[in-house]
C-alpha cells in the first residue's frame, strides 16, 4: 500500500500487515512524522468523533466537465482515457487510450495508472504527485490529471470527493 505523508509529501510503501489496531504508529520513512490512514475502517486513526464520521464513505464521485461518474460497490471500476469506451473520456495528446482506473476494493478507493506519461494526483492537504504504473489509495478529495499537471482548482482536471449515500 502506498501512503503519502501529510507533513512532507513523501511516498511511503507500507506492508498492510504492519497496520494493526485503531491507532497504528507507523512513521514516515523521510521525516518521521506518524502517517495517517484515513478510510481504513477498523485500522483508521480515530482522533475525534468528527474525523471518524468523515472517514465513513460509501461513494466516490468523479466529475470531469459535465460528466459525473459514481464509484461504489455496484460500479466498482471506472476507466479513464482517450478511447470513447472509457467511462471518462479525456481527449488530450498526453492521455493514453486507457490511461487510469479508479477501483472500489474492500471498502477503499484506489487510483491505478496504466499510462505512458503517468497520472498527476493531488489530494487536499497534500502535495501533488505523479503516479506511474502503480496503485494509490485515495484518502481525501482531490483532482486527477491524466498525463498532465493539475491543481485543486483546475477546470481541466477530474475532480473527486467522497459522499454518503442513503
Section 6-17 average pLDDT: 76
Section 4-14 average pLDDT: 74
CB-side exposure of 160: number of CA atoms within 13 Å? 28
- The region that residue 6 occupies, defined by phi over 0 for left and psi between -120 and 50 for alpha, beta otherwise, is alpha
**What pLDDT was estimated at residue 51?**
43
Q: What are phi and psi of 130, to 5 degrees?
A: -100, 120
Residue 55: pLDDT band with limits 50, 70, 90: very low
pTM of the entire predicted model = 0.66
Supply the mean pLDDT for the chain.
Answer: 83
Residue 163: pLDDT band with limits 50, 70, 90: confident
Domain with CATH 2.60.200.20 in the chain: 59-163
CATH code given to domain 59-163? 2.60.200.20
Residues 123-162: pLDDT tens digits?
A: 999 999 999 999 999 999 999 999 999 999 999 999 999 9
Burial label, 5 (beta-carbon count in 10 A; 0-12, 13-18, 19+): buried
Retrieve residue 69's grid coordinates: 461518474
Is a pLDDT exceeding 50 seen at residue 118? yes
Amino acid at each position: 500500500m502506498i501512503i503519502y505523508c501529510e507533513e512532507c509529501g513523501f511516498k511511503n510503501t507500507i506492508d498492510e500487515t504492519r497496520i494493526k489496531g485503531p491507532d497504528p504508529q507507523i512513521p514516515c520513512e523521510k521525516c518521521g512524522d506518524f502517517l495517517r490512514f484515513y478510510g481504513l475502517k477498523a485500522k483508521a486513526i480515530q482522533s475525534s468523533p468528527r474525523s471518524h464520521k468523515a472517514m465513513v464513505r460509501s461513494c466516490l464521485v468523479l466529475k470531469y466537465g459535465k460528466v459525473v461518474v459514481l464509484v461504489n460497490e455496484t460500479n466498482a471500476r471506472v476507466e479513464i482515457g482517450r478511447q470513447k469506451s472509457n467511462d471518462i473520456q479525456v481527449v488530450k495528446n498526453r492521455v493514453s487510450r486507457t490511461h487510469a482506473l479508479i477501483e472500489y476494493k474492500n471498502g477503499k478507493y484506489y487510483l491505478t495508472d496504466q499510462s505512458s506519461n503517468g497520472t498527476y494526483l493531488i489530494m487536499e492537504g497534500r502535495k501533488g504527485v505523479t503516479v506511474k504504473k502503480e496503485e494509490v489509495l485515495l484518502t481525501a478529495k482531490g483532482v486527477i490529471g491524466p498525463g498532465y499537471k493539475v491543481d485543486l482548482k483546475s477546470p481541466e482536471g477530474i475532480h473527486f470527493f467522497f459522499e454518503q449515500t442513503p
